[in-house]
């Protein structure tokens, strides 16, 4: 208990973690800025593959900041980073593959 108490008092310094808090708010502004940018794009760029590509790239950028900074994955060990990333890469492939499959179904029915 004495040790816990010591730990507690030691960390009451309000300056501790100030850098981390700065990084958190910076990430927040980046996320807000990207979301606002997506809005602007939604109403200015004509609908098509180009617009969809921008949205997907911006979504991945946002995901990078949320997972990397908020979930702290950027600062974990390499083994943990890859254990999370590799399955997700396969999932991204699955999404793409089944979109193409959906398009093939469309061609077969309406093409």
Binding characters for other proteins, 21-60, by CB under 8 A (x = yes): x--xx-xx--xx--x--xx--xx---x----x--xx-xx-
Q: What is the largest CA-CA distance in the chain?
A: 76
* 62, two tokens: 């946002």
Q: Site residues (CB under 8 A) for other proteins?
A: 3-4, 7-8, 11-13, 16-17, 20-21, 24-25, 27-28, 31-32, 35, 38-39, 42-43, 47, 52, 55-56, 58-59, 62-63, 66-67, 69-71, 76-77, 79-80, 83-84, 87-88, 91, 94-95, 98-103, 105-106, 109-110
């Amino acid at each position: 208990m004495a040790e816990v108490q010591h730990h507690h008092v030691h960390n009451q310094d309000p300056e501790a973690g100030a850098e981390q808090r700065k990084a958190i708010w910076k990430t927040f502004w980046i996320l807000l800025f990207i979301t606002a940018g997506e809005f602007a794009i939604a109403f200015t760029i004509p609908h098509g593959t180009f617009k969809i590509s921008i949205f997907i790239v911006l979504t991945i950028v946002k995901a990078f900041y949320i997972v990397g900074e908020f979930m702290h994955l950027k600062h974990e060990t390499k083994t943990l980073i890859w254990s999370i990333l590799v399955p997700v890469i396969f999932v991204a492939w699955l999404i793409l593959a089944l979109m193409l499959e959906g398009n093939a179904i469309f061609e077969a029915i309406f093409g």
